[in-house]
Chains A and B, each alone.
Chain A
Amino acid sequence: MEEGKRVCALVVDDDRLSQRVHAALLRKYGILETEVVENGKEAVDLFKSGKTFDLVIMDLEMPVMDGSEATRELREMGVTSMIVGVTACEVEAEKAEFMRAGLDACWDKPLSGSAIIAMLDELAKKLL
């Protein structure tokens, strides 16, 4: 990440373990400002409140509002943040539908360090 540029990330996941691990991964690779919410609706509400994030890590299966619906809503609102989907779902058709909702990429859970590096490389190009 370019020095001096404070990148903000949002982790959207109902699983406490995933929240913890994804936030720690982001911190390890230099993203010091990370917020965590438990479902898609909370993510949408955050953006509606005026908050912005450079990177959103969006889980697919969540109660209240799932990742697909949240991503669609965010894109309809005009959100241009990088939204990366994460899912443990093994059904390719469901992952494809998640991508069609407006994701920039979709990764399998659990995320690895190399996945985070790849995401941040793409984000760096986007922010240039």
Chain B
Amino acid sequence: MEGNKLQRQAACMRNALFDQGYLDEQFIQLEDLQDEANPNFVEEVVKLFYSDSARFIRNIDLTLNNSPSDFVKLDNIMHQFKGSSSSIGAKKVKQRCTQFQEYCKIGNFEGCMRTFQEVKQEHAALKKKIESYLQVARQAR
């Protein structure tokens, strides 16, 4: 009974992640790769994303603090961050990364700063939601 309730809860949380635009179909690809041989594949990949993205965020922070701004370097780091975000289907994070890159291309420092805050906000929001979902999904198994 409890198991069914948890499964329903997990399903609801999962649907909300898609309905609210946090995740796209790439996340479904990751779920399809989870099997008996790799029972924690999704969780492992999400953990890897957050480990790598913490590093990207640190590097962008450091680079934004340098003067004059190195927009090429910022664009390169954000390109990697965007790539990682795409790999797990982090839709909103990826969209903000794209906006940041557009500001880099025109050398707009204020635009970069503003969008970087949005990247970090979306990154943190997704982390909270996806970690809660994965915890319930684990308990429901």
Contacts and interface: CB of A to CB of B under 8 A. Distances in A.
Interface of B: 26, 29-30, 32-33, 35, 37-38, 41, 44-45, 48-49, 52, 79-80, 82-84, 86-88
Nearest to A61: B79
Contacts of B41: 24
Contacts of A25: 29, 33
A61 B79 CA distance: 10
Contact of A112 (B29, B37, B49): B29
Given A21-B30, A25-B33, A28-B32, A110 B86 contact: yes
Given A28-B32, A88-B86, A21 B45 contact: yes
Interface string A10-21: 000001111011
Contacts, number: 50
A73 to B, nearest CB: 23
A109 interface: yes
25 contacts: A15-B84, A16-B48, A16-B52, A17-B49, A17-B52, A17-B84, A17-B87, A17-B88, A18-B83, A18-B87, A20-B45, A20-B48, A21-B87, A24-B33, A25-B33, A28-B33, A28-B35, A88-B82, A88-B86, A109-B87, A110-B26, A110-B86, A112-B26, A113-B29, A113-B32
A-B CB proximity, top 7 nearest: A88-B83, A24-B33, A17-B87, A110-B87, A110-B86, A17-B84, A17-B48
B109 to A, nearest CB: 23
Contacts of A15: 52, 80, 83-84, 87
Classify chain A's interface size.
Answer: 10 to 19
A94 to B, nearest CB: 12
A96 to B, nearest CB: 19
Contacts of A17: 45, 48-49, 52, 84, 87-88
A113 B87 CA distance: 13
Given A21-B45, A21-B87, A88 B79 contact: yes
A15 to B, nearest CB: 6
B44 A20 contact: yes
Contacts of B44: 20
Most chain B CB neighbours (cut-off 10 Å) among A17, A28, A109: A17
Nearest to B84: A17
